[in-house]
Amino acid sequence: MSRPRPEHVQVVKQRRDAALNALLDSVPYIQFLNVTFDRRGDELTAQLNFNEKHIGNPFLPAIHGGVTAAFLEITAMISLNWSHLWERIESGALDPEDMAKGHVPRQPKIIDFTVDYLRSGLPRDAYARATISRAGRRYASVHVEAWQDHKDKLFAQGTGHFLMPQDDGKS
């Protein structure tokens, strides 16, 4: 009937946020698009922080379809990697401080990505969440949904397949 005393709330938060930030800070393209992540426990919500440079059609104006695609891909990739590394972050096998120094495990490799553009992206922030439909040892399938004002009125959705990093070093 004895369980170890739970960790202090700040210790838990600090570890998870440091690990997530290390994953995000290591990717220049995520900074370039200014995508940030909001974390609740292990759940992630990505945010595309609007910038005029995201515009694809200045007459409407609307967010560039390529920016939308990239935003969904980043959300899928980070969410998949986060879920893949979660156990090792929680167990202490991965040290967030070490990760922050650039010792980040290899990312999954993207195989393909399909984007379904449902309505035009308005010139304002956008949000996205990924669902990992299947996380196999070699392959993973990830679905992403993105919205702006109403979570049930999606402006885009996408599905991608990824090749998982093989820990035996064979890639």
Partner 1 sequence: MADKTQLARQFIQAIPHAKELGLVLEDIGDGVARISMPYDTKLVGDPQSGVVAGGAVSAMMDTCCGAAVMCHPDAPGGTATIDLRIDYMRAATPGQTITTRATCHHITRNVAFVRAVAVDDDTDRPVATASGAFTVENGF
- From 30-38, 83-91, 128-136, 145-153, span contacting partner 1 (CB under 8 A): 30-38
The helix/strand/coil state of 48 is: strand
The 8-class DSSP code of residue 122 comes to P
Query: Is 59 a residue that touches partner 1 (CB under 8 A)?
Result: yes
- Residues 120-159 as x/- pattern, contact with partner 1 by CB under 8 A: x---------------------------------------
Could you tell me the two tokens for 82? 């986060």
Give 12 or 105: the residue with its C-beta nearer to partner 1.
Answer: 105
The helix/strand/coil state of 121 is: coil
- Residues 87-106 as x/- pattern, contact with partner 1 by CB under 8 A: ---------------x-x-x
Contact 36, 47 (CB under 8 A): yes
Kindly give, in sequence order, each residue whose CB lies less than 8 Å from that of residue 121, ignoring residues fewer than 6 positions away: 62, 63, 64, 65, 67, 68, 148, 155, 156
Which residue in the set 22, 74, 80, 144 belongs to the binding site for partner 1 (CB under 8 A)?
Answer: 74
- From 10-18, 113-121, 125-133, 144-152, span contacting partner 1 (CB under 8 A): 113-121
- From 10-18, 65-73, 87-95, 127-135, span contacting partner 1 (CB under 8 A): 65-73
Contact 146, 72 (CB under 8 A): yes
Give 41 or 59: the residue with its C-beta nearer to partner 1.
Answer: 59
User: From CA 108, how far away is CA 134, in angstroms rounded?
Assistant: 14
Q: Dihedral, CA atoms, 161, 157, 35, 41, nearest 10 degrees?
A: -80
Contact 44, 124 (CB under 8 A): no
User: From CA 157, how far away is CA 147, in angstroms rounded?
Assistant: 9
- From 9-17, 69-77, 84-92, 93-101, span contacting partner 1 (CB under 8 A): 69-77
For partner 1, the binding residues (CB under 8 A) are 26-29, 31-33, 52-59, 62, 64-67, 69-71, 73-74, 77, 102, 104, 106-107, 109-117, 120
